[in-house]
């Protein structure tokens, strides 16, 4: 909404606006670009030109949407899902992501899944078995082991904490 508001203030028309991506109806001037860049910077956002950087952000956006914004994670494995969404070879995507982010796509997905587990535990609406099923873990034991590796705690211990700190998605 913030990006849409700023584009409207600047009288910049767009054909598509979704998380992480805007398609402008026509090219903008350098001064408009500079102004938009500084406005976005205030909100912790930035303009991207580099094709590789844009592709990595598309990967991030797909993963975030898949794990945090849908009720059901696709049953297909993540490599197939990303390949189909971006119409690119997974090995190339994986190599580029690792070089840019300093971690593998798989590790990035694990970190996001654990943050989603924390969120679901905090809501206290689902059992660990239901959470494991929802996030496609093979078992509660697998979820618990991965949770402990990432957080240092078992999910049941995390559940008992009064201050259930979670990471901002932008900081993962």
Q: Which residues pair with 76 in a beta bridge?
A: none
Q: Judge residue 32's burial from the number of C-beta atoms within 10 Å of its C-beta, 0-12 exposed, 13-18 middle, 19 or more buried.
A: middle
pLDDT of residue 74: 74
CATH, domain range 52-171: 1.10.10.60
Q: Which of 71, 70, 88 is nearest to 80 (CA)?
A: 88
What is the rounded CA–CA span in Å between residue 152 and residue 127?
20
Q: Give yes or no for a contact between 110 and 151, defined as CB atoms under 8 angstroms apart.
A: no
pLDDT of residue 170: 67
Domain residue limits, the chain: 2-47, 52-171
Helix (H) or strand (E) holding 118: helix 105-123
Q: Give yes or no for a contact between 76 and 87, defined as CB atoms under 8 angstroms apart.
A: no
Q: What percent of the chain has pLDDT over 90?
A: 58
Q: Is 70 exceeded by the pLDDT of residue 107?
A: yes
Averaged confidence pLDDT in the chain? 89
Task: Name the pTM for this structure.
Answer: 0.77
């Amino acid at each position: 909404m913030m990006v849409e508001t700023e584009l409207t203030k600047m009288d910049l028309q767009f054909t598509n606006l979704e998380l992480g991506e805007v398609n402008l109806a026509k090219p903008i001037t350098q001064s408009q670009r500079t102004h938009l860049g500084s406005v976005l910077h205030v909100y912790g956002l930035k303009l991207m030109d580099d094709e590789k950087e844009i592709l990595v952000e598309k990967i991030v956006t797909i993963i975030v949407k898949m794990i945090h914004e849908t009720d059901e994670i696709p049953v297909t494995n993540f490599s197939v899902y990303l390949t189909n969404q971006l119409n690119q070879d997974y090995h190339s995507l994986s190599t580029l992501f690792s070089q840019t982010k300093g971690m593998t796509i798989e590790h990035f997905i694990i970190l996001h899944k654990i943050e989603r587990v924390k969120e679901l535990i905090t809501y206290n609406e689902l059992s660990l078995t239901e959470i494991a099923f929802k996030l496609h873990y093979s078992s509660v034991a697998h979820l618990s082991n991965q949770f402990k590796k990432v957080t240092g705690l078992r999910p049941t211990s995390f559940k008992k904490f009064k201050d259930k700190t979670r990471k901002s998605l932008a900081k993962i």
